[in-house]
């Protein structure tokens, strides 16, 4: 009898793996369009959809440093049709907000997508040509300069606060509901300084819309080796802020479904 039950369970599991997906799959990006999560998810969208044989629908649900969209995924059925794209702030938000979900209990990890640095940039109309220029100006005008980030608790926020801590400068933090609005306002001149994921900023920097000053990792970015690090520019060997993008699923999503999504992500 036990052998028969095990055989039935195995057959049901195998059938689930073969049958999924039977309809479009939803990827929730908990930030507005234009940020790093949005860009990376859309770069992968079509390739993964081809592999799965079903469309991938991307939904932007911004707010509270990513907590709004993340809560929506936590409440979703673990049926393999909803996934979360998350930043490093996924593990920081529990320290900043009273959340309706538990990041460990309510989610199953699917895959690390990419690890990327933050980039410090300024509006090109400002006089700051280097990090040293910026720090000197901030020391001369305590509390007068502001910087934009993708939101409270995001890696860009942490990068800005760490620079303040290490240099003793006083910058005013202006949190946005994602990287897209933050870089838009920096380009428009509403905020002079920006910390944001390098993948989002570098294209605008090459177009001359912002001026890149430094990356926040200990080593220069292979994608932009001409940009120095904050550590080397200021002689701060312990200044480092890195960030990651990863995919999660609601807890109790079938292992076979997660394995299939992992396989398709690895193909991209």
pLDDT in tens, the chain (268 residues): 444 444 444 444 444 455 899 999 999 999 989 888 898 999 999 999 999 999 999 999 988 878 899 999 999 999 999 999 998 888 888 887 889 999 999 999 999 998 889 999 999 999 999 999 999 999 999 999 999 999 888 889 999 999 999 999 999 999 998 888 999 999 999 999 999 989 889 999 999 999 999 999 999 998 899 999 999 999 999 999 988 899 999 999 999 999 999 999 999 8
Q: Are residues 156 and 204 in the same domain?
A: yes
Q: Do 37 and 120 have their domain in common?
A: no
**Predicted TM-score (pTM) of this structure:** 0.71
Domain with 231 in it: 116-243
Residue 143 CB neighbour total at 10 angstroms = 10
| 46 and 9 within one domain | yes
Q: CA 137, 182, 41 angle in degrees (round to 5)?
A: 135
Residue 97's pLDDT is what?
A: 80
The pLDDT of residue 112 is 95
Give the pLDDT score at 60. Answer: 96
Residue given tokens 């309510």 in the structure block: 106
Please state, in angstroms and rounded to a whole number, the distance separating the CA atoms of residues 72 and 77: 10
Does residue 238 share a domain with residue 155?
Answer: yes
Whether 146 and 181 map to the same domain: the answer is yes
- The enclosing domain of 65 has a CATH number of 3.40.190.150
Based on the structure, what is the number of domains in the chain? Answer: 2
Cβ-Cβ contacts under 8 Å for 236 (sequence gap 6 or more)? 166, 167, 230
CA 125, 128, 131 angle in degrees (round to 5)?
145
Best CA proximity match to 183, nearest among 75, 50, 39, 34: 34
Phi, psi dihedrals of residue 189, rounded to the nearest 5°: 90, 10
Q: What is the CATH number of the domain that holds 225?
A: 3.40.190.10
One domain, residues 147 and 216: yes
| 87 in the same domain as 124 | no
Residues 77 and 95 in one domain: yes
Q: Examine the domain organization and report whether 217 and 144 are in the same domain.
A: yes
Q: Quote the pLDDT of residue 109.
A: 97
Q: Are residues 78 and 13 in the same domain?
A: yes
CA distance 47 to 42: 10
The answer on 105 and 19 residing in a single domain is yes
Residues 187, 158, single domain; the answer is yes
Q: CA nearest 110: which of 263, 216, 241, 221? A: 263
């Amino acid at each position: 009898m036990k052998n028969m039950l095990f055989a039935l369970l195995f057959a049901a599991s195998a059938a689930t793996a073969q049958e999924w997906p039977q309809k479009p799959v939803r990827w929730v990006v908990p930030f507005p369009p234009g940020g790093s999560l949005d860009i990376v998810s859309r770069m992968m969208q079509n390739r993964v959809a081809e592999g799965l044989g079903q469309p991938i629908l991307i939904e932007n649900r911004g707010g509270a440093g990513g907590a709004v969209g993340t809560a929506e995924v936590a409440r979703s059925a673990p049926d393999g049709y909803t996934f979360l794209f998350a930043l490093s702030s996924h593990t920081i938000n529990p320290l900043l907000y009273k959340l309706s979900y538990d990041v460990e209990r309510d989610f199953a990890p699917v895959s690390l997508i990419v690890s990327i640095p933050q980039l410090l940039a300024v509006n090109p109309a400002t006089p700051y040509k280097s990090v040293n220029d910026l720090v000197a100006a901030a020391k001369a005008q305590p509390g007068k300069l502001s910087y934009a980030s993708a939101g409270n608790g995001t890696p860009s926020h942490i990068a800005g606060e760490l620079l303040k801590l290490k240099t003793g400068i006083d910058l005013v933090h202006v949190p946005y509901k994602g990287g897209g609005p933050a870089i838009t306002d920096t380009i428009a001149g509403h905020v002079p300084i920006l910390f944001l994921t390098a993948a989002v900023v570098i294209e605008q920097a090459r177009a001359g819309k912002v001026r890149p000053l430094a990356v926040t990792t200990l080593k220069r970015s292979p994608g932009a080796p001409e940009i120095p690090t904050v550590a080397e520019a200021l002689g701060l060997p312990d200044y480092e802020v890195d960030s990651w993008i990863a995919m999660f699923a609601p807890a109790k999503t079938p292992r076979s479904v997660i394995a299939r999504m992992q396989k398709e992500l690895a193909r991209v």
